[in-house]
A and B are shown apart, each in its own frame.
Chain A
């Protein structure tokens, strides 16, 4: 909202800015507020006098336009969609398909139970649920027990360092009975824990250990929360974005391997 008050005060530079930012920052790192700013600035340019300035932002806005109808459609369905990770905020130049709301009896049931804590979307033909972190063990249990998602295909995480809640934890689930695959995503802040899903799917044991090993996300109630691929004494979590590709725990390497560097 503070952006909104700023933008009319100095229209030309402000209008330039979002368009310049747009290709530079990955869409996934932006949250919806920036998307709403875009729509705000789009209405204001009708007022400013310099015609050259107005033509450029409107041109730049053009590729964004196809994304528009989807965005408001998704919003009333989920008021808490503020932390949407990938997809619809400010798509870059090659505008692709955007996530659209996903409706099914299961989703309707969950919406009724949890209301705004859950957002159901479909993208590239794949369905996924964005759920609030507080619902996590409960909704996974329901998915397995009531909806027959008996096979947890994969569990992983994605790091978005610029976001307030830095991590996406993603479960890929499959149901043999329904022959259907879905994903469940939740956002987790750095240092926060996630309830372990080992009691729900035994396969999550190693998968959670790998997420801890690579991202440093701890899982509450995991039977053996320790590193799996890297050595136990290793410092740092390699799949975080701030961990360089050539970075290593040189202290560990020197002590345990007796060499100066592994490179």
Chain B
């Protein structure tokens, strides 16, 4: 027993140099961190509050989707793609179905194409709403979360009525659709469009001119269009940096060329511009939905595809404009019932690579804002 009065607990051996002497500090953020939107680990190198660099550690949600694909038939793999970007499951399904359709050289009938476009655009709005709510929450604005989730619910109700599921919908089939649009689908969609239009104005009222929002987003996480292209960054992030490129226009798929819509772009490539671009995108999606829902043609919803699908030997790369960017599928067929190889080109994975560049010389608190503005879904990053 030592006498506490004689031996001070503070009398510690001090090394010649402690971490306090250096200016750099390495801290770890995540994987269990609410603002990383999943299980993303970021190792930050800091000088005071300034970020000198960072490294992302990913893979916590890796489920081997590409390996699973090689051990399932083309049809059986279809529901798996919904589990990658689970907030925009319908986009994933559209990309996969269209890629296999191209391999099979079939095309979905016009009625199916219209319903596909309506559902995909509804999903884009739902994805952007979820992004807006959580992104604003990260930065400190709580109210938009309640607004966006309230309105997103209406979209999920339409999905639920259409196919029974709300998130991982498995809405599309290779060759078209399994389910005919339910009675009242069109009026539901029309009602939703007129319901949500003023709501988007409401979100904007809360944020667009809000001083705190401006302070937290303007000039934060700037990336130039050139850097975006070099890093392969796509989607709203690319457009906010001034590159007017959208696969729906550049390499049209489904029947997007029948619809009239615009591609919004920003100028500064900062978090604020990305916010504005996504807000306009929601309105443009509503425009597409309005045009599509008025013109759904009659006819079959399923093309003639064999029950046992054996696409001829070949390879295909097909990509679509998912809410997060370019979502591509590279499928190799060996002529059997199972794909020989399915490669998913996930937009979140590639966009996340830009985090390092965008956070350099920003403050620690802005890292949260930048992760939010990239709109990543870890289920898709890790697959």
Total number of B residues with any Cβ neighbor in A under 8 Å: 47
| Contact assessment for A86 and B66 in the assembled complex, using a CB-CB cutoff below 8 Å | no
CB-contact partner of B314 in A86, A181, A229, A243, under 8 A: A86
| Contact assessment for A172 and B317 in the assembled complex, using a CB-CB cutoff below 8 Å | yes
| Contact assessment for B335 and A92 in the assembled complex, using a CB-CB cutoff below 8 Å | yes
Given A27-B313, A228-B59, decide whether A153 and B345 contact each other with a Cβ distance below 8 A: yes
Stretch at the interface among A9-17, A34-42, A69-77, A202-210: A202-210
CB distance from B352 to the nearest CB of A (A): 8
Could you tell me the distance between the alpha carbons of A27 and B333 in the complex, rounded to whole angstroms?
Answer: 9
CB-contact partner of B229 in A95, A126, A176, A245, under 8 A: A176
Which residues of A lie under 8 Å from residue B103 when comparing CB positions?
Answer: 124
What are the interface flags for A121-141 relative to B under an 8 Å C-beta threshold, 1 for contact and 0 otherwise? 001101010000000000000
Which residues of A lie under 8 Å from residue B340 when comparing CB positions?
Answer: 26, 28, 158
| Contact assessment for A123 and B230 in the assembled complex, using a CB-CB cutoff below 8 Å | no
| Contact assessment for A172 and B330 in the assembled complex, using a CB-CB cutoff below 8 Å | yes
| Contact assessment for B332 and A229 in the assembled complex, using a CB-CB cutoff below 8 Å | no
Which residues of B lie under 8 Å from residue A93 when comparing CB positions?
Answer: 310, 335
Within A112-163, the residues touching B (CB, 8 Å) are 123-124, 126, 128, 150-154, 156, 158-159
| Contact assessment for B349 and A206 in the assembled complex, using a CB-CB cutoff below 8 Å | yes
Could you tell me the distance between the alpha carbons of A118 and B291 in the complex, rounded to whole angstroms?
Answer: 46
Q: Does A80 contact B (CB under 8 A)?
A: no
CB-contact partner of A123 in B68, B229, B315, B349, under 8 A: B315
| Contact assessment for A154 and B105 in the assembled complex, using a CB-CB cutoff below 8 Å | no
Given A94-B312, A96-B105, decide whether A203 and B232 contact each other with a Cβ distance below 8 A: yes
Which residues of B lie under 8 Å from residue A92 when comparing CB positions?
Answer: 310, 312-313, 335-336
Which residues of B lie under 8 Å from residue A179 when comparing CB positions?
Answer: 250-251
Which residues of B lie under 8 Å from residue A207 when comparing CB positions?
Answer: 350
Closest to B62 in A: A229
| Contact assessment for B67 and A203 in the assembled complex, using a CB-CB cutoff below 8 Å | no
Q: Does A231 contact B (CB under 8 A)?
A: yes
Could you tell me the distance between the alpha carbons of A205 and B355 in the complex, rounded to whole angstroms?
Answer: 13
Total number of A residues with any Cβ neighbor in B under 8 Å: 50
Which residues of B lie under 8 Å from residue A170 when comparing CB positions?
Answer: 330
Q: Does A106 contact B (CB under 8 A)?
A: no
Could you tell me the distance between the alpha carbons of A185 and B186 in the complex, rounded to whole angstroms?
Answer: 46
| Contact assessment for B229 and A172 in the assembled complex, using a CB-CB cutoff below 8 Å | no
Given A183-B317, A230-B59, decide whether A91 and B312 contact each other with a Cβ distance below 8 A: yes
Closest to B326 in A: A153
Q: Does A48 contact B (CB under 8 A)?
A: no
Given A228-B58, A229-B59, A245-B68, decide whether A151 and B232 contact each other with a Cβ distance below 8 A: yes
| Contact assessment for B341 and A158 in the assembled complex, using a CB-CB cutoff below 8 Å | yes
Q: Does B98 contact A (CB under 8 A)?
A: no
Which residues of B lie under 8 Å from residue A229 when comparing CB positions?
Answer: 58-59, 62, 382-383
Within A50-83, the residues touching B (CB, 8 Å) are none
| Contact assessment for A124 and B353 in the assembled complex, using a CB-CB cutoff below 8 Å | no
CB-contact partner of B67 in A94, A99, A238, under 8 A: A238
Closest to B335 in A: A92
| Contact assessment for A96 and B336 in the assembled complex, using a CB-CB cutoff below 8 Å | no
Which residues of A lie under 8 Å from residue B231 when comparing CB positions?
Answer: 202-203
Could you tell me the distance between the alpha carbons of A153 and B312 in the complex, rounded to whole angstroms?
Answer: 25
| Contact assessment for B316 and A124 in the assembled complex, using a CB-CB cutoff below 8 Å | yes
Could you tell me the distance between the alpha carbons of A97 and B313 in the complex, rounded to whole angstroms?
Answer: 9
Given A28-B334, A87-B314, decide whether A205 and B345 contact each other with a Cβ distance below 8 A: no
What are the interface flags for B8-26 relative to A under an 8 Å C-beta threshold, 1 for contact and 0 otherwise? 0000000000000000000
Q: Does B328 contact A (CB under 8 A)?
A: yes
| Contact assessment for B334 and A151 in the assembled complex, using a CB-CB cutoff below 8 Å | no
| Contact assessment for B330 and A27 in the assembled complex, using a CB-CB cutoff below 8 Å | no
Q: Does A239 contact B (CB under 8 A)?
A: yes
Q: Does B301 contact A (CB under 8 A)?
A: no
Q: Does B166 contact A (CB under 8 A)?
A: no
| Contact assessment for B62 and A230 in the assembled complex, using a CB-CB cutoff below 8 Å | yes
CB distance from B338 to the nearest CB of A (A): 10
Q: Does B210 contact A (CB under 8 A)?
A: no
Q: Does B198 contact A (CB under 8 A)?
A: no
Given A179-B250, A202-B230, A206-B353, decide whether A91 and B328 contact each other with a Cβ distance below 8 A: no
Within A168-185, the residues touching B (CB, 8 Å) are 170, 172, 176, 179, 181, 183
Could you tell me the distance between the alpha carbons of A82 and B277 in the complex, rounded to whole angstroms?
Answer: 50
| Contact assessment for A176 and B62 in the assembled complex, using a CB-CB cutoff below 8 Å | no
Could you tell me the distance between the alpha carbons of A26 and B336 in the complex, rounded to whole angstroms?
Answer: 7
Closest to B68 in A: A245
Which residues of A lie under 8 Å from residue B251 when comparing CB positions?
Answer: 179, 181
Query: Which of B64, B232, B382 lies at the interface centre, i.e. has the most chain A CB atoms within 10 A of its CB?
Result: B232
Q: Does A194 contact B (CB under 8 A)?
A: no
Q: Does A29 contact B (CB under 8 A)?
A: yes
Which residues of B lie under 8 Å from residue A183 when comparing CB positions?
Answer: 315, 317
Query: Which of A87, A202, A238 lies at the interface centre, i.e. has the most chain B CB atoms within 10 A of its CB?
Result: A202
Closest to B357 in A: A202
> 9 A–B contact pairs at CB < 8 A?
A96-B105, A96-B312, A126-B316, A153-B328, A158-B341, A172-B345, A202-B232, A214-B66, A231-B59
- 8 shortest A-B CB distances, which residue pairs? A96-B312, A26-B334, A203-B232, A92-B335, A229-B59, A27-B313, A154-B345, A156-B343
Query: Besides A87-B314, A124-B314, 5 other CB < 8 A contacts?
Result: A150-B229, A153-B328, A154-B328, A229-B62, A239-B66
Residues in A lying within 8 Å of B, measured CB to CB: 23, 26-29, 86-87, 91-97, 99, 123-124, 126, 128, 150-154, 156, 158-159, 170, 172, 176, 179, 181, 183, 201-203, 205-207, 210, 214, 227-231, 238-239, 243, 245
